[in-house]
């Protein structure tokens, strides 16, 4: 029993037909393979385009990130510079204020020293002058008392008639 298919029997019987059929089959396979490859190439082109778009987006994002980083670092540098200038100005003002305060302290210290010297001079001179003044006052009081005593002595001698004339 021959279990071969009719196409096989035909192919055995007709080698040219088989060759043509194989060529047609081969041509169909090549066309199908060509179509599949064409679809694959188109798919690859789509993927490449999509990857190119993603890459462009990534590059643009990186450029923006770099620009932002430069901008932020510039802002921080500017802020640091401004703070440094403010600190320098404050330091200069504090130095000027300190100089004025030191000058005032020196003036007050000199004035205090003069006042201490004057006080010391007064303490040294006043006791002698005070003693002299006290002695003078006491002498004047004694003379005044003597004069009062004389007046009292003269008053009784004077007559009342002399007083009426």
pLDDT, tens digit, 9 for 90 and up, residues 127-148: 777 788 888 999 999 999 999 8
Whether 107 is covered by a domain: the verdict is yes
Kindly tell me if the per-residue pLDDT of 66 is higher than 70.
yes
Average pLDDT over all residues of the chain: 84
Q: For the chain, how many structural domains are there in total?
A: 1
Whether 4 is covered by a domain: the verdict is no
Whether 43 is covered by a domain: the verdict is yes
Looking at residue 19, what is its pLDDT? 72
Whether 1 is covered by a domain: the verdict is no
Looking at residue 161, what is its pLDDT? 56
Per-residue burial over 85-106, b = 16 or more CB atoms within 10 Å of its CB, e = otherwise? eeeeeeeeeeeeeeeeeeeeee
Spatial neighbors of 127 by CB under 8 A, at least 6 apart, are none
Could you list the residue range(s) of the whole structural domain that residue 83 is in?
A: 15-164
Lowest mean pLDDT among 3-12, 22-31, 49-58, 61-70: 3-12
Evaluate whether 10 touches 17 at the Cβ level (below 8 Å). Answer: yes
The verdict on pTM exceeding 0.85 is no
């Amino acid at each position: 029993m021959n279990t071969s298919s009719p196409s096989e029997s035909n192919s055995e019987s007709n080698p040219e037909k088989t060759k043509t059929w194989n060529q047609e089959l081969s041509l169909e396979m090549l066309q199908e393979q060509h179509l599949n490859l064409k679809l694959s190439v188109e798919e690859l082109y789509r993927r490449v385009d999509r990857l190119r778009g993603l890459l462009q987006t990534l590059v643009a994002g990186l450029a923006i990130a770099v620009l932002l980083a430069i901008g932020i670092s510039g802002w921080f540098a500017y802020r640091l510079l401004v703070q440094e200038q403010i600190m320098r100005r404050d330091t200069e003002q504090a130095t000027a204020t300190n100089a004025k305060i030191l000058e005032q302290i020196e003036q007050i210290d000199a004035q205090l020293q003069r006042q201490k010297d004057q006080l010391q001079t007064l303490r040294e001179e006043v006791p002698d002058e005070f003693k002299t003044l006290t002695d003078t006052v006491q002498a004047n009081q004694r003379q005044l008392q003597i004069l009062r005593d004389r007046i009292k002595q003269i008053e009784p001698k004077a007559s009342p008639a002399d007083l009426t004339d």
